[in-house]
A and B are shown apart, each in its own frame.
Chain A
Amino acid sequence: MDANLPFRLQLSGITKQFPGVLANDRVTFSVRPGDIHALLGENGAGKSTLVKMIYGIMAPDAGEIAFDGERVEIANPKQARKLGIGMVFQHFSLFEALTVLENIALGMDASIRSRDLEARIREVMIAYGLNLDPRRIVATLSVGERQRIEIVRALLLNPKLLIMDEPTSVLTPQEVEALFKTLRQVAAQGCSILYISHKLHEIKALCDTATILRGGKVVATCDPKQETSRSMAERMIGASLKDIKKDPNRTFGEPKLIVSGLSTKAEDEFGIAVEDVGFSVRAGEIFGIAGVAGNGQNALLDALSGEVLGENSQAITLEGHPLGLLDTTGRRKLGLCAVPEERNGHAAVGDFTLADNSVLTARDRLKMVVGGLIDSGAARTYTGRVIAEFAVKALGPLSMASSLSGGNLQKFIMGREILQRPSVLVVCQPTWGVDAGAAAAIHQALVDLAAAGSAIVVISQDLDELLTLCDTLAVINEGRLSRTLEVGEASIEELGLLMGGVHGTPEQVSIEAGGGVAVQA
């Protein structure tokens, strides 16, 4: 890196106001040529807003953007691409029925002959070790391969700055390593990379500099290799991180939840069905189900919660009671509660009060319905208890669910189920999109519920979460569940292979028993 070169990207005083929230407050930082620069922050810290302004999707209210030392106004993404800014979005925009080549051709600003384009695509792929056949139909590709299309599409423009928005959230550990290798090579050739993430170990492994955002403001710029994950996390949340308190001498009781031969039909032609799933969870045990998004996690949750019924009553048993043919109400009465992934419109109704949302799932176990009439006093009392014990920031039981932030609503939903003292609790993505403080509180509540003798199933795409929380875990891939592994015995590499990550190159990764994960770069 030549210190005399002008900064590739320089932001000064960028401010963006949305109705009711200041998304970016005088954000100032700069990125050197060839630098891999992390933009780190919790959900809602303003990362996405900031990169949308750099890529020309939104205009800042105030502040300046300079590119290669010259002040620029980026009116739209096309202009951003002309300047040499490429972006790979978290969600891909690809046509499944078309080939890789056709998809890339459709996204090009300038028209180019398909034979020339194919030659250039192959060139880029060879140069960066991106292995992909341009003639393949997108529908047949894995998520990691689809992301490679987006990367190739960005690299074809010879960008000077590549923005990557949460690129690893859909990848297996092996795919993450392959991606990092490519990104390091891209950076080595002088292209700067703005890497958005909240996964600290990735940032430590990959990035040269990190800018930490909190509440729309830059709170620190640091060298992630000099920091610990903990110190960065604490700056990110602006408070000290709480450790989960787990009894090291905990013991497990008899199996409470036994699932065997559980299969469902796919809800539509694109859906994934659950096939012949079997596992058992003991009293006091937290059982994790890992897997890359879209491998049947939601179908499994629906089958366990009773939203979708199977055909065999013995496929699911709770303390010997067959549950397979009971609906959600019947299962709740026997002690199985569940929390689906989607908060709005599934786990909770936004247009309803919190008290009404308590009636939704807690009415039988807490006797909120007497003779067909709702006892609104009982619903309010219970809701008040959930709010108090789970520190939900809400005006009271009569506030609308939609007035709560994502993290607070999730705390309310988890509290609503946990305070019913279920003997089995099944949760999907319990801390998805939740800030670190709320996530720690939810994790602790799950550990405490298990310590009190409940059996818990946690379905999550976040391996770190599962490895800190769970005692045992299995991996779901295309609707099938792997054998059960003890946490501590399982290596990240093995988990990655089970997730279907056979495309990646295995790197040195290790896992500490019941604790953090280390990816050695």
Chain B
Amino acid sequence: MQFKLEKRPRPSQAMLYLTPVAAVVLTMLIGGAIFSLIGYDGMGAVREIFLTPLTNSYKWQDLGIKAAPLIIIGVGLAVAYRANVWNIGAEGQYVMGGVFATGVALTTYGVTGWWVLPLMAIAGIAGGAAYAAIPAVLRTRLGVNEILTSLMLTYASVQLIYYLVRAPWKDPMGMGFPQTRIFSEAARLPTIIPGTIVHLGVPIAIVVALLVWFVMTRSLFGFQIRVVGAAPHAARYGGFSENRTIWLAFLVSGGLAGLAGMLEVAGPFQRLVPGFPTGYGFTAIIVAFLGRLDPLGVIFAAIVLAITFVGGELAQTTIGLPAAAAGIFQAMMLFFLLAGDILVRYRVKRVVHQSAEARA
């Protein structure tokens, strides 16, 4: 007996939206079972990772600041993936955004003025976009697959941080620690809710998502991105250049990742350290897919992933789960989502195998 996948004539619209929910629920069930089997408190793990961050109001501010970079990078990736541009290197573009912003912060060290932060934001966006331009050039000029180039550039960017914080940008008063000095006041993001750690990056993330949603649904630019991704031949017929669209998709996703890098370095970190690349750029890939490549969906998906980050940290202290547990849950979520998508678009059909020799 064999099975084959048969394309459904019309994928159910309801299922398209229910699949992300189903993926999260399945992750909780199967993940819990797996952790029970290997000797941990599986139900406790699910509770700590998925529920405690929601029920414990003290953790909400953590959710906000974890979700913000995921939202900004995630909407950028959603734009790129809609155009069939598989930018996997948002982490590297995020790092370069942080590096460029740090460059501005260190150059303007000791300077006061409202313009320092906007300048850092522009530098961050430019840094991310410039780094994304490398795979864009390689893809449009030489036809090099962007998945490999963008991914590998991430590792190069991390080495750049290591170099910068150990040599030219090393804090002169840092007693030899590989890190830059703490940014001066004007280069640090203000908190917006007194007494919490919620910084300006959180509302900026929401505004960015709404803005991108508007552009993607209402503007000709969004139409161009969607048509190039859905049917490149039709896009050419409609007068949209595929290469120009690839460029735009890279610049938008790289620029937004760079903005997220600037907000992180000026917000929670306030200096550049070797531990700056925390994997937001990779997690945002899951966010983009879980959010159905829709900027509004990305907001919800980013909150779900932020919950697993915060919950993962909680579970380490409360029930002694390893640090990798949250990563395993996140990966399972992406797996169930992609598997679910296949079943929404295709159905499994049994092929009755007829042996030619036996019958003839």
Contact = CB atoms under 8 A, between A and B. Distances in A.
- Which of B237, B238, B359 has the largest number of chain A CB atoms within 10 A? B237
A497 to B, nearest CB: 34
A387 to B, nearest CB: 20
Contacts of B221: 372
A360 interface: yes
Nearest to A307: B236
A75 B231 contact: no
B237 A372 contact: no
Contacts of A348: 234
Interface residues of B, number: 22
B153 to A, nearest CB: 30
Interface of B is mostly: helix
A90 interface: no
B230 interface: yes
A47 interface: no
A338 B227 CA distance: 18
B223 interface: yes
Interface string A131-161: 0000000000000000000000000000000
Nearest to B358: A75
A227 to B, nearest CB: 36
B219 A372 contact: yes
Contacts of A369: 220
A349 B231 contact: yes
Contacts of A328: 236-239
B225 to A, nearest CB: 13
A329 interface: yes
A347 B237 contact: yes
A147 B9 CA distance: 33
B9 A374 contact: no
B238 A360 contact: yes
B350 interface: no
Contacts of A75: 354, 356, 359-360
A47 B360 CA distance: 26
Contacts of B234: 345-349, 360
B227 A79 contact: no
A389 interface: no
Contacts of A360: 227, 234, 237-238
A305 B10 CA distance: 32
Contacts of A361: 237-239
Contacts of A374: 218-220, 223
B357 to A, nearest CB: 9
Interface residues of A, number: 38
Interface in B310-360: 354, 356, 359-360
Given A82-B360, A349-B230, A374-B218, A307 B237 contact: yes
Contacts of A307: 236-237
A330 B223 CA distance: 18
Contact of B237 (A78, A340, A373, A376): A340
Interface in A343-367: 345-352, 356, 359-361, 363
Contacts of A372: 219-221
A281 B326 CA distance: 68
Given A19-B9, A372-B220, A346 B231 contact: yes
Interface in A46-82: 75-76, 78-79, 82
A352 B230 contact: yes
A476 B227 CA distance: 32
A373 B219 contact: yes
A123 B246 CA distance: 58
Given A329-B239, A352-B230, A369-B220, 6 more contacts: A20-B9, A82-B360, A329-B238, A347-B234, A359-B223, A373-B218
Interface of B: 9-10, 218-221, 223, 226-227, 230-231, 233-234, 236-239, 241, 354, 356, 359-360
Give the 5 A-B residue pairs with the shortest CB-CB distance, closest first.
A329-B239, A360-B238, A328-B239, A345-B231, A349-B231
